[in-house]
Chain A
Amino acid sequence: MASLADVDKHRVTAVLVSHNGAVWLPEVVAALTSQTRPIDLITAVDTGSKDASTKLLKSARIPFFTTNSETGFGQAVSLAVDKLPQSVDHEWIWLIHDDCAPAPTALAELLSAINDRPQVVMVGPKLLGWHDRTHLLEAGISIAGNGARWTGLEPLEYDQGQHDGIHDVLSVSTAGALIRRDVFEELGGFDQNLTLFRDDVDFGWRARTAGHTVIVATGAVAFHAQASATERRTIDVKGAFLHRPLLLDRRNAAYVMLANSSWWMLPWIALQLFGSAVVRALGYLLAKLPGYASDEILAFTTLILRPGMILEARKVRKKQKFVSARVVATYIPPRWSQFRLGTERLVELVRGRVFPENTFVSTSILDSVEDEDLLTPVDTKNWLSIFKRPEVLGFISIAIITLVNSRNRFGALVGGALPSSPSGATDLWRFYFESWHQVGLGSSLATPPWVAIIAIASLVVLGKVQFFITIFFLIAPLLMMWSCFYLLKKLTSNTWISIPAALLYALSPVALASISSGHIATLVLLIAAPIVALILHDWWSIEIYSWRKIFSVSLLFSLLYAFTLMSFIIALVAAIAISVDNYREFALTLDKKLFDVRILKRSALVFVPFFVNAPYSLEALVNPSRFLTEPGLLIPGGGSLPVLFGNPGGTGSVPLWLVSPILLILAISLFSSTHARRIAEYGLGALTLAVFVGSLSISAHGNEGVAKVWTGPVLSIATLAAVAAGSVMLDSLRQTLVLSHVHYRHVLSALLLLVTGFYAILAVGYSVTAGADSAVQANRATVMPAFLSVESDTKILVLREIGSAQDKKIQYYISRGKDISLGEPDIAPKQNVEIASAARALIDGTGITSSKVLGDYGIEYVFAKSPFKKEIIRSIDGLGGFTRTSATSLGVVWRVSQPTSRLLFINEAGVRSALKAEEFSGRTFVPSAGTLILTESSNRSWQVLQNGFRLTRVNNEMGLPTFTVTEAGEISLIHDGTVRRGWLSLQVIFLTIVIVMALPAGRRKREISEKELA
């Protein structure tokens, strides 16, 4: 400690500024009067307090004067200093906030620190929390490049003396700062434009560039409530737009940066300030703090709109500057340290969530008695005993069954409803974003969102989509079992019930059929359904769910809707059914508010995901069959009868003799006196819906014919309900049966167990034998021969016999030289009538004009995939206009004789020629004036530009876009994707809103308790 003689050479005048600080002022006054080194003079300024501040000052006998409430801190200090007697040597001004209480030795320590440092003009104490006095608030401050207030401390850092000492800093807080009066006056005091916040940094910066030194002396301690910054009091100062502290703080931060930085740094600084403001605003939006978000943007905008103020400030600083601005560079935190601190905070946040603090209180070793330790039997658990646990046995069983069942599915999967996957996720992204799809005659339908989801999900395997699909099909049964087990754990504590039940769920007919037939959506639903059931177990009383939870579940629903809109139908039907029940209750209770809340929340849950999936979902309103489809090819279901027994039927389904106990369980559970009854009602409702849906036939996804609807998604719900109801029933069954006389329950239970056991054995047997020969298989040969893919984007009419040997059917489609890929069936256009007629005539031998029609539509080849009826091949041979170009084991290929291409040109003499055109947009040369025909489906977005002008587009009699070319020259063919981009933007906006609503909300500072703050 410095000697008293040394201290005495200084004269200290404390300037206390108060504004509605009655809460803290008594302690502040007490702190000032109890200083070990007495203050020479105390003066106070009250800036229009409306509380008891002035009374307190008066009773403390501190001389003070009052100004209006718009007076800023700096202005108040200047007014106080102006009223002081003439300055003397070694006179210091000690700035005291009304919410800052210095420790008794604070002043003595501050003076001690400056004693041997004549160059120091500003010294500040270590600031600790007002409530938590071990919480280190500041030990010197600076400002980051993006305007952030920089203390270099971690949030809620505990003060253990780790920052103690006397350090050079850019600045110190005005709370408790000791400033040499002569320098204060020389620099003009605090900048009057900084009414509150950042005036300290600005002053420190100016002091530094004026050649002075600023230090922090941590021996001096002050306790600061930070009332203004933490919104404990209203900001009334002049220029505090909307009285928002954050806005004022950010504005002032930007002001400080722009007023003090070098000229050449200004653009970069401005960019940094704006960029960080936007990022922070987004962060606040995510935290549902739009006020703070607007503060960030407004702060920068309001400042940048007044450049004159900044120019004036820079002029003043230029006059005061005596050393290079570089002197402050060492005090500006480097960007990497900001990044490091941000990362550390994020990691800490995640760590806190993942590994919550252990509240276990360890027992002191002093409490143990060594003798007792010797008597305690050693815990000698045999690790092999883990294999006796049902969880382990169950999951090992499903893993083995799945591995054996998947023996033909190790590789790139294709078959059934599943088209081949592109090799990389970028292909999926391209497909998702593009406005025009080269499928069939071309399609502008919106790509379903599940394509984007698969693309994102495949990132876990570095974007290898094929590998991801293989892995997904391989682990799907395990995931199903896990999610079902997760649900059943809440319904029964008996794992010997929940594990077999979960195993049965993973081996249910719908699960086996989905894997065999490549129905991705049903698999996703089977995995997600138990989680949804768990989250929405209080679906009836939905009013208890917070809006945040509603939006969280909406996100999950969005995922399910993205895969199949049948989940929307399920949700809608369930919502309507429950709402009817709610209405009955409303009719009795007349609680309209409750009823309205339920309807509103349920509607949000059902319809918000629908809009998140726009435009795909909205297009379904025009094509209602989309509500009943799954991703991929339209594979017919088995109709109502198999569905009644939980079997979706159709390709890849388990044989009908493998009758599952789903219907039986649901029927028996209906009569149960347990919770199983309620579950069974949901299950039976789903089964009823499935039976109805299964009886419908639709035409969609590039299939001209009608096919029975695949009911997998609805059956997933019925299956889950059956498994859950059965588990609940069995949970207490043994005890009930033992205690009761033999009656129908015993018989039903025996029957149920017998059928279930029988099914389980047969399902496992089927799964590991015939079940492996599924429609979905790995590494199948492609349909299209490689030599037809050489010419890019060549349209080929493919004829093929589809079906089993007993039931073959000739079908056709237009290929673009390759097999179809993931997502393409979903956006496949309806077949053109004229092409359909030409193809039919081609096959029945009457197609004399087929060649012309196909040529007119730009179809260059006809490919009959082997094996194919030889009679038809001969028939095509006999038709004019086709030239056989190859006949290999893969099939027979004919070239359409007339010149044709994607882009046809007919000159004024009527001579037709084929022009070269790239896949989407491309440039090509037109030899003369004439008519340009694009052999793609008609779409408004097709445009041809020549010499910067758009050519007139009309549809010809075949519905193909036709353009009138007036002169020879280069043309550009483009498909304008503005509409698609607009829809995608809208989708992103919808999704962002839902994510923001689902995220935990941030709190305003005024909402944070003082204890938490400091």
Chain B
Amino acid sequence: MKLIRPLKFLAVLLSVVGISSVLSVAVTTKSFSESYPVVVCPPTLDGLGSQISFSSKKTQFQRLQNRTSETAQVKVLRLPVNKDSLIITSEEVTPVVWQSRSGSWAGGGLCMGPASSQWFVGGTADVTTRGRLILVNSGLSDAVVDVESFTENGKQPLRTVNVSSKNYIVISIDSLAPGDKTLTVHVVPRSGRINAFMIDEQGKGLKALGGDLVNPAAAGSKTVVIPAIPNQSSRNTPALPHTLRVLAPGDVDASITVEVLSGDGVFVPVGLNSRSVSAGIVTEFKLDPNITSNVMAVRISSTEPIVAAVKSTAVVQGKKDFVWSTAAPGLVRLTMAITGLDPFISFAGESIDVSLDVTLTNGKVVQEKVTGSDIANWRVPTNARSFTITKVGAGTFAGALVSSINGYGYFPIAAGSLLTKIEVPDSNIRVLNP
């Protein structure tokens, strides 16, 4: 009997523990707001032509200078842009911009959301250059942008630029490091919603030497994959030359090893094994692999973070053009609008297994699957308006090569606008306590 009272106490305790478990409703301490930031396409500079591919005619857009929040539908699947930079609410779809100078060159790029760091490996500041760096401020406040330049002579003086709100400025890239041949530019916005674009255009006197849109990389990495490099060759002529441009932006020299991935296999070209790259100095290596494939990829392993790109020469309808194949980020699920481009996509990776849904201009969806190892190529159907990568393994990279009557172009397969998951903030006085 004397055990009853203690047992009652324990029973009450256990009951309360049970009730508390029920009462203790999981407290959601976080709530999120998800959205795709708007993407910004480069302006069309004088003498150039631009077309932007969309996956839907209902895609909303706004001209950069428009200070209201009103947007309009594009109403077409490929929009020619005369001048302005466009701000596009494309949600998860990445629009691709195709720019060209008639009869001279062409290049492709991605319309992207504002970036906190952009590395442009490409261009030259010598007398041949007509290249330009375009800084677009899509925000409603003025922006401050740091432009860091690196050349074969090392790091150049920092240039800080103010970009007024809803506007863009164009900087001639020869002004960044006058006289230097090899250029790599790092654009770091200190404030503001900034997108940078680089056009590398070269000419000698009146003779156009070609041009391209140089696609940016977000940050340096110890493993850089450039997934699509055009390698034009024929039985009669040797393959057109390639140049690998590398920069180790840190303070320590890097040792790099370059692997070429092609249909002919994977190999390290002679002289590109454990090559030293001085920190802060843009270094170029000749890359002339003896391969038969028309497309190759390059994988660079480094002891330090590097940025890299490959400049390739291409001939289109008898005219010489050059292409800057830049590093691509790891492939993720994404949708890319490619109306009118018919890109040739090259996947690189040890084990490639990519599933795609291709939406044709008539609205039909065709499922495709690309598999392989090291490198696998796939040409997008001619009447495709967009493709969606629905499934992809880790460690796969992709880039697209596009040939047009004006020239040859490259763009990486990457998401221009990633789903931004922003936590809805709480009001808490705790923020005022150290």
Contacts and interface: CB of A to CB of B under 8 A. Distances in A.
A complexed with B: yes
Given A878-B114, A879-B139, A694 B20 contact: yes
Nearest to B166: A880
A880 B434 contact: no
Contacts of A878: 114, 138-141, 192-193
B425 A825 contact: no
Given A640-B17, A874-B193, A809 B434 contact: no
Interface in A788-814: 798-800, 802, 809-813
Of B12, B16, B19, chain A has the most CB atoms within 10 Å of the CB of B16
A880 B193 CA distance: 11
Contacts of A708: 24, 27
Contacts, number: 202
A420 B434 contact: yes
B33 interface: yes
B235 interface: no
Contact of B432 (A705, A815, A870, A875): A815
Interface residues of B, number: 53
Contacts of A634: 430
Interface stretch (B3-11, B239-247, B277-285): B3-11
B140 A879 contact: yes
Interface string A414-429: 1100011000000000
Given A845-B35, A877-B141, A696 B23 contact: yes
Contact of A877 (B191, B423, B430): B191
Contact of B422 (A839, A843, A880): A843
A874 B29 CA distance: 25
Contact of A811 (B189, B191, B427): B427
Interface in B373-424: 420, 422-424
Interface in B17-61: 17, 19-21, 23-25, 27, 29-30, 33, 35, 37
B165 interface: yes
B64 to A, nearest CB: 12
Interface in A679-731: 681, 684-685, 687-688, 691-692, 694-697, 701-708
A685 B10 CA distance: 10
B34 to A, nearest CB: 9
B5 to A, nearest CB: 8
Contacts of B29: 705-706, 809
A674 interface: no
Contacts of B237: none
Contacts of A697: 24-25, 27
B116 A871 contact: yes
Interface string A437-450: 00110000000000
A701 B429 contact: yes
A961 to B, nearest CB: 21
A820 B140 CA distance: 33
B428 A419 contact: no
A621 to B, nearest CB: 23
A6 interface: no
B425 A812 contact: yes
Nearest to B22: A695
Contact of B433 (A819, A836, A881): A819
A811 B9 contact: no
Contacts of B27: 697, 706-708
A420 B432 CA distance: 10
Given A705-B428, A880-B140, A414 B9 contact: no
A811 B431 contact: yes
Given A670-B9, A844-B33, A691 B423 contact: no
B429 to A, nearest CB: 3
Interface stretch (A255-263, A401-409, A776-784): A776-784
A344 B190 CA distance: 75
A706 B20 CA distance: 17
Given A681-B9, A877-B143, A878-B140, A415 B433 contact: yes
Contacts of A79: none
A671 interface: yes
A882 interface: yes
A412 to B, nearest CB: 10
Contacts of B72: none
B141 A839 contact: no
A831 B67 CA distance: 31
Contacts of B362: none
B190 A820 contact: no
A825 B116 contact: no
A633 interface: yes
B33 A840 contact: yes
Nearest to B20: A695
Interface string B178-213: 000000000001111110000000000000000000
Contacts of B143: 877
A701 B30 CA distance: 19
A953 interface: no
B426 interface: yes
B17 A880 contact: no
B431 A844 contact: no
Nearest to B115: A874
Contacts of A812: 425-428, 431
A696 B23 CA distance: 7
B429 A824 contact: yes
A813 B428 contact: yes
Contacts of B23: 692, 695-696
A569 interface: no
Contacts of B219: none
Nearest to B37: A845
A883 B143 CA distance: 9
A703 B430 CA distance: 8
Contacts of A440: 429
Contacts of B430: 633-634, 702-703, 802, 811, 813, 825
A410 B154 CA distance: 49
B140 A874 contact: no
Contacts of B5: 681
A783 B430 CA distance: 10
B370 interface: no
B228 to A, nearest CB: 29
A644 B10 CA distance: 12
A640 B141 contact: no
A684 B13 contact: yes
A746 interface: no
Contact of B6 (A677, A784, A887): A677
Q: Which of B13, B37, B424 has the most CB of A within 10 A?
A: B13
B70 to A, nearest CB: 12
Given A695-B24, A878-B141, A802 B193 contact: no
A812 B429 CA distance: 7
Point out which of B30, B35, B114, B425 has the most chain A C-beta atoms below 10 A from its C-beta: B425
Nearest to B69: A848
B141 A831 contact: no
A880 B431 CA distance: 25
B191 A884 contact: yes
A640 B143 CA distance: 51
A366 B420 CA distance: 99
Contacts of A848: 69, 140
Given A681-B9, A825-B429, 20 more contacts: A414-B433, A633-B430, A640-B24, A692-B16, A695-B20, A702-B428, A783-B434, A799-B425, A800-B431, A813-B428, A820-B429, A872-B422, A877-B139, A877-B141, A877-B193, A878-B140, A880-B139, A883-B141, A883-B142, A892-B191
15 contacts: A633-B430, A681-B5, A688-B16, A695-B19, A696-B23, A802-B428, A810-B423, A812-B427, A831-B427, A839-B425, A843-B425, A872-B422, A874-B139, A877-B192, A877-B193
Top 3 nearest A-B pairs (CB, nearest first) are A878-B139, A880-B140, A702-B429
Interface of A: 414-415, 419-420, 439-440, 633-634, 639-640, 644, 667, 670-671, 677, 681, 684-685, 687-688, 691-692, 694-697, 701-708, 780-784, 798-800, 802, 809-813, 815, 819-820, 824-825, 828, 831, 835-836, 839-840, 843-846, 848, 865, 870-875, 877-884, 887, 892
